[in-house]
Amino acid sequence: MSEKSRPNYEEAVKKEFEITKQLALAEVREWIEKIPEEERDKPAIVVATKVFTPRQLVKEVEEDTEYGRRLVQMLTKVRLELAKKEG
Amino acid sequence: MASQKIDVLPIAEILPKYPTIAWLIQKLKPWLLKKLLIVRPKKPGDAYTEQFSFPAAELVKNKAVLEGWIVIDLQANDASREKVTSAITEQKPSFVIQYDHGSTYVLWGQESNVLEPAIDLSNVSLISGRALSTVSCQTAAGLGPSAIAATARAYLGYDELHWVHLWHLAEFTEAANAANYALLEGKTFLEAYNIGYNKYTQKYNQLLPVNTVAASLMLHDRDHLTRLGDPSARAY
């Protein structure tokens, strides 16, 4: 592989995180679509002194906030668990 | 305003017609050893304590009374640092249970509707010789090891944020309480940890087909339940 075509490590990691985020985002969007419209602004998740509605949660993931990132990690873990069972 | 109360089973319910010495010793044992301090703030407007941790601790208290524990219950504004300190130094509980917020080095309490550190690095020696279990965020990553270094017998808590889905409170409460029920029944910290872990797994499997996000929180809580100290220690 030539020096030019070799992927930059930092860029690759960034790109991989973006893939993970998009997978989680798809998961959260699929989740919110199953929730009736009138319930999407109801408090759903509580952590520390924070409360998130489903709509706020999607925003947290989209905007890559601390809690959004944590949710991405948690959903990734579920995907991993499911893959272990399917394997 | 909530107050400090000591709850025990009414004596008429436990006294047989002809008590034997062995029976008396067995029944007196709790008075000497099975003393539990529950610390459970309830901050107005705070969803975690109002909707989850405070009512979950109520169930733990009921279980403790049924199991013959003497319970010192510090609720809401009575869960202050001052009252926690005096309850531990004067009542000498063998077991402390806290349901509230936590951060790496602080188990939070409450005074005048404001959260305040109840136990932190400067008074962690209060836990020396005792067992502690907490349903709160993060303390098993910092305060827990410090408590063990200060000769606490065992510590059960979470080394990461503790998440709860408000639409599945029953499942999250059951999972969070399972290990504490086991400890109140006299199981070891290792056994209680395993029971708690398995309950989280069971609830995760139940939630997975219903609500992926709630299931992911349950899995996270399970994987961050942390046991420190002597695995064979019991709560009394």
pLDDT tens-place string over residues B62-71: 999 999 999 9
| Structural domain for B101, as ranges | 5-166
Is B100 part of a structural domain of the chain?
yes
Q: Is the pLDDT of residue B2 over 50?
A: no
Query: What is the mean predicted confidence (pLDDT) over B102-117?
Result: 97
Please name the residues between 33 and 72 in chain A that touch chain B, using a CB distance below 8 Å: 43-49, 51, 57, 70-71
Residue partners of B126: CB distance under 8 A and separation at least 6: B84, B85, B88, B89, B119
Total domain count for chain B? 1
- The confidence score (pLDDT) of residue B23 equals 77
Residue B8 banded pLDDT, cuts 50, 70, 90: low
Residues of chain B neighbouring A27 (CB-CB closer than 8 A)? 212-213
Region of poorest pLDDT, from B12-26, B44-58, B59-73: B12-26
Which pTM value belongs to this model? 0.88
Please give the residue that has the higher pLDDT: either B19 or A45: A45
User: Does this complex have an ipTM over 0.90?
Assistant: no
Task: Return the DSSP state at B167.
Answer: G
Q: What angle do CA B35, B111, B179 make, to 5 degrees?
A: 40
State the SS3 of chain A: CCCCCCCCHHHHHHHHHHHHHHHHHHHHHHHHHCCCHHHCCCCCEEECCEEECHHHHHHHHHCCCHHHHHHHHHHHHHHHHHHHHHC
Residues of chain A neighbouring B217 (CB-CB closer than 8 A)? 45, 74
Is B207 part of a structural domain of the chain?
no
Domain range list for chain A:
9-86
Is B201 part of a structural domain of the chain?
no
d(CA A56, CA B143): 32
Is B113 part of a structural domain of the chain?
yes
Mean pLDDT of chain B: 93
- CATH code of B96's domain: 3.40.50
Residues of chain B neighbouring A47 (CB-CB closer than 8 A)? 48, 137, 161-164
